[in-house]
Amino acid sequence: MSTSKTELKDLGKFKLIDLLTENFKTKKKSSTYGIGDDAAVIDAGIYYTLVTTDMFVEGVHFDLTYAPLKHVGYKSVVANIADITAMNGTIEQITVSIAISNRFTLEALQELYQGIYTACERYEIDLVGGDTTSSPAGLVISITAIGKVAKEKLCLRSGAKPYDLVCVTGDLGAAYIGLQVLNREKKLFEVDPNMQPQLVPYQYLIERQLKPEARADIIQLFEKLKLLPTSMIDISDGLASELLHLSKASNVGFTIHEDKLPIDRLTYETTEALHLSPTLCALHGGEDYELLFTISQADLPKIEGNPNIHLIGYITEPTQGLKLVTNSGESVNVTAQGWEPL
Amino acid sequence: MSTSKTELKDLGKFKLIDLLTENFKTKKKSSTYGIGDDAAVIDAGIYYTLVTTDMFVEGVHFDLTYAPLKHVGYKSVVANIADITAMNGTIEQITVSIAISNRFTLEALQELYQGIYTACERYEIDLVGGDTTSSPAGLVISITAIGKVAKEKLCLRSGAKPYDLVCVTGDLGAAYIGLQVLNREKKLFEVDPNMQPQLVPYQYLIERQLKPEARADIIQLFEKLKLLPTSMIDISDGLASELLHLSKASNVGFTIHEDKLPIDRLTYETTEALHLSPTLCALHGGEDYELLFTISQADLPKIEGNPNIHLIGYITEPTQGLKLVTNSGESVNVTAQGWEPL
């Protein structure tokens, strides 16, 4: 046993994963791609099986003072769907494991599973297994998703090429701002338990935080448009963090434009009211579960005018790094400050 | 939201799982078998994909005062291998998710992963993904295993028929007794921190508890013997509990013989020294990760004389329930008191 002591807080999530897995090489012929993408890719003969897993911890990923258990269940499934979607795949099954302290009742867990079942219904997924155990404190949910993708349609993080175009779906930053609104109301409530939370005007933001959706619809759109992204990732930790993942995996640089970042009007107005920068929220706010992908320039006509897809920049040589061209025309470096609970 | 409050301690693990999943029906054509077996069965075209998942919680499943992290990692993988093995399948890949409090260092986690990698090496498994997150307290490990089985070789819990023979591999109760020895030494240590733990004489028992093995070798033996069990399950919660699972899934009764229960000599002697009943330890002690399976009588010659396989009884009509014929010739009912941390 080593006597040196490296504190985890000095590492961050991705460095820790790198250090824990650096010496491990896959050996099975069926393990086509292992660690390093949104999902593992297993050769199932005719198609690829996709496997991804996410863990959600009370007090880290969700706060039961404002997140109803039904939404916690729903969102846990959605996060996994987003990972399968990011491989251009379709989710088929999930397993759900929970560790629960004795402060939870059967009725509380039935609410949690109601949310899980609602997501299964909405996204046509089967719950096929899991584990249930006790925990000394709090709730931990671990979900594994199994999906599939036709071999020729698989999208990895590593396929982006210089001069490809960079796209995102939907809008960014709303889930993060939703969380700020919820935290603000929680603090006010702690000071004055008689206050009525002012949540109605922020409904869209709060829904994006508590009950997000995954963009399985976009995979169907790609199919219809006969569009195959050159690389793809889901935006769970923040746009900047995901761009850096693509950049590292594809060995390319990125230039994105501040004025192209899709920000919903309510997000924009609320960031201003909270004295936050809408651009920084769009870049670094996590949990939007939108898709970030790159396409070759020849495919531009396929997405032009589509309200679901926004062109935000283009790929450069790796030496260029990750640049943001601001509204004032300056080019600044972007670094990851993503949502990394560790 | 229901206003009734049902305490989880009044339910037990299996009743809770039943209640949470009773209204969920699988819909995908590929979901061949869902909840209710050791692993989910997914139709992958040429073969079946098997998926199982287990969660391990510090303070519930392991105690880091005596379990080295390396062993915790190893055992977590083994428990999943045992589930795939129980379907007559071969494990291929795992994903590993961990939630960790900041009291763990990088070096501690590297030890945990060293155990995981050692199990991967020993059982020829690829680690293909996972998640790493923080926890407010303690360590939670969630492992999902993916395996495969030829369609005609799949073993379920539901295939046992009256007059089939009941077999177990290896020996039973040792892991439970190993835990009692460790707990005894821990208590002595708490009273007198200068004491030297007396563990050497109990090495086999302690290894069975801290670093068990899964019976992947038996699946190869079945292949060699051209033996296909009619039903199978792994013994993780105790023989009696697993017999009841087979009984329920196959709708049959069981008669087993006390004098046929395979108990290692050291287990036997240590149960006596601890004033425990060796039979009760074999029936209700969990975590042996041996296999319990049934075969048709015509297959008896294939296992006779094999030192790894013990014939312990036979299947009866469902009305007969679960009976133990004691050494004194009495027939008594057996109920589950398995290791159910909930």
Tokens at residue A112, please?
């949690």
Which chain A residues are within 8 Å of B57, Cβ to Cβ? 99, 133-136, 140
Burial class of residue B153 (count of CB atoms within 10 Å of its CB; 0-12, 13-18, 19+): middle
B113 part of contact set with chain A, CB < 8 Å? yes
Residue A342 is predicted with a pLDDT of 40
Tokens at residue B28, please?
């995908």
Contact present, B85 and B127 (Cβ < 8 Å): no
Q: Strand A322-325 to strand A253-257: parallel, antiparallel, or no bridges (unpaired)?
A: parallel
What's the CATH number where B67 sits? 3.30.1330.10
Interface of A with B in 60-89 (CB under 8 A): 60-61
What are the respective helix, strand and coil percentages of chain B, to the nearest 5? 40, 25, 35
Alpha-carbon distance of B288 to B258, in angstroms, equals 18
Alpha-carbon distance of B140 to A53, in angstroms, equals 14
User: Out of A12-21, B115-124, B225-234, which region has the weakest mean confidence (pLDDT)?
Assistant: A12-21
Task: Specify if A160 maps to a domain.
Answer: no
Residue located via tokens 């960014």: A172
A245 and A109 fall within a common domain: no
To the nearest whole Å, the CA of A15 is away from the closest chain B CA by 11
Mean pLDDT for the stretch of residues B129-155:
95
Share of chain A above pLDDT 90, in %: 83
Task: Report the Cα–Cα distance between both ends of chain B, in Å, rounded.
Answer: 24
Mean pLDDT, chain B, rounded, equals 93
Phi-psi region of A313 (alpha: psi -120 to 50; beta: other; left: phi over 0): left
Alpha-carbon distance of A140 to A96, in angstroms, equals 10
Q: Which residues contact B16 (CB under 8 A, 6 or more apart)?
A: A106, A109, A132, B8, B342
Residue located via tokens 């609410």: A111
| More confident call, A210 vs A36 | A210
Residue B337 is predicted with a pLDDT of 66
Rounded to two decimals, the pTM is: 0.93
The three-point CA angle B78-B79-B83 to 5° equals 110
**Side-chain half-sphere CA neighbours of A194 within 13 A:** 0
B32 DSSP assignment: E
Contact present, A147 and A84 (Cβ < 8 Å): yes
Residue A117 and residue B24: Cβ atoms within 8 Å?
A: yes
Residue B136 and residue A59: Cβ atoms within 8 Å?
A: yes
Residue A264 is predicted with a pLDDT of 97
Phi-psi region of A285 (alpha: psi -120 to 50; beta: other; left: phi over 0): beta
Residue A292 is predicted with a pLDDT of 98
Is pLDDT at B124 greater than 90 in this prediction? yes
CB atoms within 10 A of CB A289: 24
Indicate if the alpha-carbon torsion angle A325, A329, A333, A335 is positive or negative: negative
What pLDDT band is residue B340 in, cutting at 50, 70 and 90?
very low
Residue A39 and residue B129: Cβ atoms within 8 Å?
A: yes
A178 and A322 fall within a common domain: yes
B168 and B301 fall within a common domain: yes
A126 part of contact set with chain B, CB < 8 Å? yes
Residue B129 and residue A51: Cβ atoms within 8 Å?
A: yes
What's the CATH number where B222 sits? 3.90.650.10
Task: Specify if B4 maps to a domain.
Answer: no
Residue A95 and residue B6: Cβ atoms within 8 Å?
A: no
Residue B90's DSSP bridge partners are B148
Alpha-carbon distance of B145 to A233, in angstroms, equals 24
Q: Which of B236, B233, B192, B185 is nearest to B206 (CA)?
A: B185
A316 and A188 fall within a common domain: yes
Mean pLDDT for the stretch of residues B141-170:
97
User: Out of A7-11, B155-159, B325-329, which region has the weakest mean confidence (pLDDT)?
Assistant: A7-11
Q: Which of B187, B161, B192 is nearest to B297 (CA)?
A: B161
Alpha-carbon distance of A236 to A167, in angstroms, equals 15
Residue A128 and residue B11: Cβ atoms within 8 Å?
A: no
Domain that holds residue A182: 165-333
Give pLDDT tens digits for A320-334.
999 999 999 999 998
For testing contact with chain A, the best of B122, B132, B139 (most A CBs within 10 A): B132
Q: Which residues contact A172 (CB under 8 A, 6 or more apart)?
A: A235, A239, A261, A262, A263, A267, A281, A282, A283, A285, A288, A290
Is pLDDT at A57 greater than 90 in this prediction? yes
Residue A105 and residue B51: Cβ atoms within 8 Å?
A: no
The three-point CA angle A10-A98-A24 to 5° equals 45
Residue B99 and residue A133: Cβ atoms within 8 Å?
A: no
Q: Which residues contact B223 (CB under 8 A, 6 or more apart)?
A: none
Residue A130 and residue B35: Cβ atoms within 8 Å?
A: yes
Interface of B with A in 142-161 (CB under 8 A): 142, 144, 146
Mean pLDDT for the stretch of residues B57-64:
94
Give pLDDT tens digits for A271-290.
999 999 999 999 999 999 99
A206 and A274 fall within a common domain: yes
For testing contact with chain A, the best of B133, B141, B143, B149 (most A CBs within 10 A): B133
A178 and A42 fall within a common domain: no
Task: Specify if A2 maps to a domain.
Answer: no
Tokens at residue A40, please?
């593992």
Contact present, A76 and A127 (Cβ < 8 Å): no
Mean pLDDT for the stretch of residues A157-170:
97
What pLDDT band is residue B342 in, cutting at 50, 70 and 90?
very low
A148 and A186 fall within a common domain: no
- Could you report the predicted ipTM of this complex, rounded to two decimals? 0.92
Select from B26, B95, B106 the Cβ nearest to the Cβ of A6: B106
Domain count, chain B: 2
Residue B1 is predicted with a pLDDT of 44
Tokens at residue B166, please?
């009941």
User: A-B interface: how many C-beta pairs under 8 angstroms?
Assistant: 275
Q: Between the CA of residue A116 and those of A62, A206, A341, B206, what are the distances in Å? A: 15, 19, 23, 39
B325 and B181 fall within a common domain: yes
Residue A135 and residue B5: Cβ atoms within 8 Å?
A: no
Contact present, A134 and A75 (Cβ < 8 Å): no
B108 and B182 fall within a common domain: no
User: Out of A174-178, A292-296, B6-10, which region has the weakest mean confidence (pLDDT)?
Assistant: B6-10
B87 DSSP assignment: T
Tokens at residue B302, please?
């294939």
Q: Which residues contact A212 (CB under 8 A, 6 or more apart)?
A: A75, A78, A175, A287, A288, A289
A182 and A308 fall within a common domain: yes
Contact present, A147 and A50 (Cβ < 8 Å): yes
A133 and A176 fall within a common domain: no
Contact present, B214 and B83 (Cβ < 8 Å): no
Which chain B residues are within 8 Å of A33, Cβ to Cβ? 128
Write out chain A in H/E/C secondary structure: CCCCCCEHHHCCHHHHHHHHHCCCCCCCCCEEECECECCEEEECCCEEEEEEEEEEEECCCECCCCCCHHHHHHHHHHHHHHHHHCCCCEEEEEEEEEEECCCCEHHHHHHHHHHHHHHHHHHCCEEEEEEEEECCCCEEEEEEEEEEEEHHHCCCCCCCCCCCEEEEECCCCHHHHHHHHHHHHHHHHHHCCCCCCCCHHHHHHHHHHHCCCCCHHHHHHHHHHCCCCCEEEEECCCHHHHHHHHHHHHCCEEEEEHHHCCCCHHHHHHHHHCCCCHHHHHHHCCCCCEEEEEECHHHHHHHCCCCCEEEEEEEECHHHCEEEECCCCCEEECCCCCCCCC
Residue A220 is predicted with a pLDDT of 97
The three-point CA angle A204-A208-A213 to 5° equals 120
Task: Report the Cα–Cα distance between both ends of chain A, in Å, rounded.
Answer: 24
Q: Strand A40-43 to strand A231-235: parallel, antiparallel, or no bridges (unpaired)?
A: unpaired
Residue B339 is predicted with a pLDDT of 41
Alpha-carbon distance of A308 to A306, in angstroms, equals 5
Is pLDDT at A337 greater than 70 in this prediction? no
Is pLDDT at A307 greater than 80 in this prediction? yes
The continuous run of DSSP H or E covering B311 comes out as strand B309-316
Is pLDDT at B324 greater than 90 in this prediction? yes
A88 and A130 fall within a common domain: yes
User: Out of A224-238, B7-21, B264-278, B313-327, which region has the weakest mean confidence (pLDDT)?
Assistant: B7-21
Alpha-carbon distance of A189 to A167, in angstroms, equals 40
| More confident call, A19 vs A253 | A253
The residue from B153, B183, B212 where one domain ends is: B153
Residue A5 is predicted with a pLDDT of 85
Task: Specify if B326 maps to a domain.
Answer: yes
B18 DSSP assignment: H
What pLDDT band is residue B3 in, cutting at 50, 70 and 90?
low
Task: Specify if A1 maps to a domain.
Answer: no
Is pLDDT at A1 greater than 70 in this prediction? no
Task: Specify if B340 maps to a domain.
Answer: no
| More confident call, B112 vs A200 | B112
A131 part of contact set with chain B, CB < 8 Å? yes
The residue from A97, A123, A153 where one domain ends is: A153
Amino acid at A175: A
Is pLDDT at A70 greater than 90 in this prediction? yes
The residue from B128, B153, B178 where one domain ends is: B153
Residue A51 and residue B107: Cβ atoms within 8 Å?
A: no
Task: Specify if B263 maps to a domain.
Answer: yes
Task: Specify if B8 maps to a domain.
Answer: no
What pLDDT band is residue B197 in, cutting at 50, 70 and 90?
confident
Give pLDDT tens digits for A119-139.
999 999 999 999 999 998 899
Give pLDDT tens digits for A92-111.
999 999 999 989 999 999 99
Contact present, B129 and B47 (Cβ < 8 Å): no
Mean pLDDT for the stretch of residues B71-92:
98
For testing contact with chain A, the best of B46, B50, B106, B121 (most A CBs within 10 A): B106
User: Out of A189-193, B132-136, B225-229, which region has the weakest mean confidence (pLDDT)?
Assistant: A189-193
Phi, psi of A26 (to 5 degrees): -75, 150
Q: Between the CA of residue A282 and those of A125, A263, B253, what are the distances in Å? A: 30, 7, 62
